[in-house]
Structure 1
């Protein structure tokens, strides 16, 4: 047993010694390779100077100095990729030999080598970007991937290529935007940015998404392009994201979604799109758009408009009573209801991501209109008058019975508009066509269920009109008691009808009979 323990200890000591030797060897190798880097110029300027000294003429068709500069950059990038690979290997060794005195003594050497590598790699990558050298960029990206430092490459591309382009499009001085030099509109800016991406950024996107390159870990779309656009908007056009101007906000928000769709078009796969959307830069950009605040403002605007209309007095709007059309709304309250419902689903108001909230608002508008009607009808039927009636019922207490025909007509028209065959349900289903069929079915059912209480009010409206007519007829029927008194006063038979007979049908002859006929016809058409 003691022998086995000694053998195990010896094996462990040998493995540790080999690890330390490998670590020392890699550090020395990295330092040696780094020392070779200064002999390789970072750009072609030194090569051009040497080529002039050697007598190259600037009138040559093929410029030898350009070719030499390209070769030098490529050689340097290959060397940097090799150094990065060794640095990755060194990090692996150090992670397995932590807290050892030998490793701690080498810490300064490792830090110095890392600093030199980062600086040389940065210069080489920037030069490659400036010259659009695909081979140099490819090698540098592989080097960044080897040392697990993708963020530095993304930041260099942003500051070197993307930032100068965006600054020419979006003003970086907010004072200029306020003074009127630039508006808060983003549509034209996005169009120019998309052209720049297609022209000046596509090359690196193609390199990083090439098959079997191992460069898919880079996300220049989010961490370079989108991040710079976000920064430019915040500095130059902060008012573009303000929901205080709902129309401008919605226009800019939709333009931003279109821009994001454009960027996602460069993602080679669904997994790449998922990765793009999960990046912090994407999340931060979406936080610019306070859609919930926008909806709150629209809610106040739409719901407040309907409430204002419901508190007004009832009067027909611009339609002759003798020329009423069954599909035409006559009361401004009903007109405002349909306008509010249509506004919820108009292109100038609706935000698709919040369509559930706009559906809820639509149902609340229908419920509010139904409550307004039911409260008025209940107050009209009450025997104690209007002394303790709620505010919603004041319209029914003051309106003449003849105007209830307009109420009946509008309720029928609203029910028809919100029915399964109506335009409103078709419009909503069209806008939500991308949703599953189960969702569309639930949306349609919710709208139809919201209309059911409105249908139940039709008999109540009829009862109110019938009750008023009956009450008025009772006043005339009271005079029938005088007929018996007339017969008792004389034994002669009357030679003409009693004057009270003509008054019995007076209420029906004046206004109410045509109203009742129309109401019965309208009710029959709805129930059919």
Structure 2
């Protein structure tokens, strides 16, 4: 059986299939893993649901990629099969609907006539619809016409009501103002034909109660009614109503009458407040009533926009009367009134140093003051003064001996007493009123305003400007016209500056009495204020002061030599030239000369003065090789060591003169530097106008650069001083050459124990110059700052000279020693070392000379150290010390 089966299955395929099935059943997980890891492509036949075939645009590439597992021949076969399927379905569809298609064409036969029959009634229907629409439009137009006519009638009715209101308002206002109403036949007459029977006397019994009660409130109500009349008239005028034009003359007459009554009442109230009773006693009730009437009048003026009319009344009835009595050409020469106090600003807060007799502190000029930045505690309600004034300018006007100060004080007292109350009331009225911001502008243009004379330069706009248009304009113009030839006289600078200071104090005090910051701004913007400031001619004053300051300084700088200041002069400068420059600089910022408006010019002049001093130093005192005998003889001579080596007494005197002049100038330049910086910090920086921090830093930097340039002129002077002192110190080293001959010629040959006599005189010129141990020297004042640097430079140069002399001395001794060896055939003992077998006496001489030289160098170093010379940093002194301590090697020749 087995053989038979194997013959039927020679490859044992059945056995292999069984084994494969066994392995797959034994490892089901592996089989599942294999299945998931190697998915075979799924064959999807073409159908109507294929997304590529249903798309509007057939994408061949996408379709081929989706069938990438199919070969092209197989894909062609599939497409052909699908095409045949589509054809079969199309044929089937035609066959299914063919019968219905044939029946449709049969059913539509004869329908054309029926459609034409249906078309005929549609035309008639359209005609009927259009006719109905036309009739509807006619009805709508009729309704709109009726509504428009009713609107016109309504507007005409409203206009008639408005005209009735205007007529009634005009009649009512004429009645309230006691103006006779014109008859019907006089309606077209001129306004001058209208008669008025006003009665402003409240004491008469025939006057109506409203005029006897409170005339101010009555006029206020009339003004309110008049404002409404103007509003109604403006609305009627927009409709070109002839009635308004016909009664315009009556409206103008009402305005004129109301303005006249208001001016009369305002004038009467002002006189009652400012003049009072004859005996000067006014009851509190009458005073309160006058203030109430004044407030009501100002409120009425504000409501009607007649601010300039109120200012004119105030100017005419109050201010101008006082101006005519107080300011006239001879006002400054008239005796002071005993009734006028010294000043209205006497206060306990005034500084103790301020009084009528003591002058102001030095260099404390007038500084601009912003009046509205300071509270006014001395003013109670409506500006009534109830305490001593605290004006910061009281001390400038507190001078009973100055007629201009007395006049300004009198003016300020008048303003504080009579005008402050009125300005305060006007300011409070303006703050409470909303008329200026809410009044319709048509009211202003609806009627012809009355002609009002406007003073040249008057400040316009809304609201009261009493301080600018009344107080300042009247007083400023009076001062310019009546006292201008005295107050603004720039030809007398001292009086001019005093008048300027007093006038500026008066203006600032006047601003201090202003009711608000806005009134101060209006006053400063007034054209008369600008003209008043231009009248001062400050550039002319500066030119005169410039000539006065510069001429004195140029007189001192006219000579090229330094002139010593006398001991009686109380300043910190030793020369007249530096003192003159300092006096000129301080004069620019002194209280007697400085004016704040010219601060920039005085600042520029200060820099020019420093530059002029710098130029004088460069042209006159910069070291020159030749100094004439005239320059030397003019300066005081300081005796120094006796001239040696052919130095003439004239040259020594010339050097002494140079030392004296240079020391004086160096001291004065240092003093000038410190004093100018102190003046800048304490005064100039505060007196210059406020500026930004960057600009202020630039200004200070400019000053420091000028001072640095001035200090740089002293550097060549210092070098020349060092050169002269070095020459004198080196001249004192000449005895060094004769030390060896002196020791060999001495009979008493002992070992030296003290330095040579000339060592103490080597650095003596430095001590004489700085006054160390010899009393006073030219550079005594420079000792603190210049002793060490001068002594160090001179010591270094002298040490080099010392080394040079010892080197020359050594060469001389070597030459002598060689000469002796040649003559005597014997070695000698060298000064700087043993050199063979010499005589015993010669060796001792050389030893003594070396010891003496060591003592001299040590004493020289000690003197230098006492003068502040750092010996450990001096290379020349180190070389000198090594030279005198060195020992020459023995010479075996």
Normalised by the length of structure 2, the TM-score is 0.44
In the TM superposition, residue 430 of structure 1 has moved relative to its aligned partner by: 4.9
Give the aligned partner of residue 417 of structure 1.
Answer: 675
For 1:453-464, list aligned pairs within 5 A: 453-464=709-720
C-alpha contact 2:588 2:606 (8 A) present in aligned 1: yes
For 1:78-477, list aligned pairs within 5 A: 78-82=220-224, 84-86=226-228, 88-89=230-231, 92-93=234-235, 96=238, 104-132=245-273, 133-170=290-327, 172=328, 174=329, 176=330, 185-210=403-428, 212-214=431-433, 217-238=463-484, 239-312=486-559, 314-319=562-567, 328-378=572-622, 381=624, 401=658, 402-419=660-677, 422-431=678-687, 441-465=697-721
More helix per residue: 1
| Matched position secondary structure for 1:311 | coil
In the TM superposition, residue 12 of structure 1 has moved relative to its aligned partner by: 8.9
In 1, Cα distance between the equivalents of 2:508 and 2:559? Answer: 46
Give the aligned partner of residue 834 of structure 2.
Answer: none
Give the aligned partner of residue 62 of structure 1.
Answer: none
C-alpha contact 2:599 2:687 (8 A) present in aligned 1: no
Change (3 A) 1:319 1:516: closer
Change (3 A) 1:23 1:403: farther
In the TM superposition, residue 315 of structure 1 has moved relative to its aligned partner by: 1.5
In 1, Cα distance between the equivalents of 2:410 and 2:610? Answer: 44
In 1, Cα distance between the equivalents of 2:621 and 2:266? Answer: 78
Change (3 A) 1:207 1:455: same
In 2, Cα distance between the equivalents of 1:303 and 1:17? Answer: 88
In 1, Cα distance between the equivalents of 2:769 and 2:294? Answer: 88
C-alpha contact 2:424 2:515 (8 A) present in aligned 1: no
C-alpha contact 2:468 2:523 (8 A) present in aligned 1: yes
In the TM superposition, residue 28 of structure 1 has moved relative to its aligned partner by: 5.9
For 1:482-501, list aligned pairs within 5 A: none
C-alpha contact 1:30 1:87 (8 A) present in aligned 2: yes
Change (3 A) 1:9 1:149: farther
Give the aligned partner of residue 59 of structure 1.
Answer: none
In the TM superposition, residue 228 of structure 1 has moved relative to its aligned partner by: 1.3
Change (3 A) 1:27 1:355: farther
In the TM superposition, residue 369 of structure 1 has moved relative to its aligned partner by: 1.5
Residue of 210, 215, 222 corresponding to 1:73 = 215
In the TM superposition, residue 494 of structure 1 has moved relative to its aligned partner by: 10
In 1, Cα distance between the equivalents of 2:692 and 2:681? Answer: 16
In 1, Cα distance between the equivalents of 2:490 and 2:300? Answer: 44
In the TM superposition, residue 184 of structure 1 has moved relative to its aligned partner by: 8.6
Gap regions ≥5 residues in structure 2 = 1-136, 179-196, 274-289, 337-400, 437-461, 629-653, 738-743, 747-757, 772-776, 790-893
In 2, Cα distance between the equivalents of 1:266 and 1:13? Answer: 60
Normalised by the length of structure 1, the TM-score is 0.71
C-alpha contact 2:217 2:296 (8 A) present in aligned 1: no
In the TM superposition, residue 352 of structure 1 has moved relative to its aligned partner by: 2.5
C-alpha contact 2:476 2:529 (8 A) present in aligned 1: no
Deviations 1:320-375 (A, max 9, x none): 9xxx99x7212222112211222222222222343333222222222222222123
In 1, Cα distance between the equivalents of 2:788 and 2:464? Answer: 63
| Matched position secondary structure for 1:196 | helix
In the TM superposition, residue 199 of structure 1 has moved relative to its aligned partner by: 1.6
In 2, Cα distance between the equivalents of 1:423 and 1:450? Answer: 15
| Matched position secondary structure for 1:233 | helix
Change (3 A) 1:289 1:32: farther
In the TM superposition, residue 221 of structure 1 has moved relative to its aligned partner by: 1.4
Highest Rg: 1 or 2? 2
Deviations 1:10-49 (A, max 9, x none): 96997699569747843762464145324663345xx2xx
Higher mean displacement: 157-166 or 516-525: 516-525
In 2, Cα distance between the equivalents of 1:7 and 1:464? Answer: 114
C-alpha contact 1:247 1:348 (8 A) present in aligned 2: yes
In the TM superposition, residue 456 of structure 1 has moved relative to its aligned partner by: 1.0
In 2, Cα distance between the equivalents of 1:310 and 1:343? Answer: 17
Aligned length: 467
Give the aligned partner of residue 783 of structure 2.
Answer: 521
Change (3 A) 1:271 1:222: closer
Higher mean displacement: 279-288 or 2-11: 2-11
Q: Which fold has the larger relative contact order, with Cα–Cα distance below 8 Å and residues 6 or more apart in sequence?
A: 1
In 2, Cα distance between the equivalents of 1:305 and 1:34? Answer: 79
Deviations 1:41-82 (A, max 9, x none): 3345xx2xx47xx9xxxxxxxxxx9x9997353354334433
Change (3 A) 1:213 1:130: farther
In 1, Cα distance between the equivalents of 2:788 and 2:552? Answer: 28
C-alpha contact 2:219 2:258 (8 A) present in aligned 1: no
In the TM superposition, residue 6 of structure 1 has moved relative to its aligned partner by: 11
Higher mean displacement: 17-26 or 151-160: 17-26
Give the aligned partner of residue 14 of structure 2.
Answer: none
In 1, Cα distance between the equivalents of 2:767 and 2:698? Answer: 48
Give the aligned partner of residue 177 of structure 2.
Answer: 37
Gap regions ≥5 residues in structure 1 = 55-64, 386-396, 484-492, 496-500
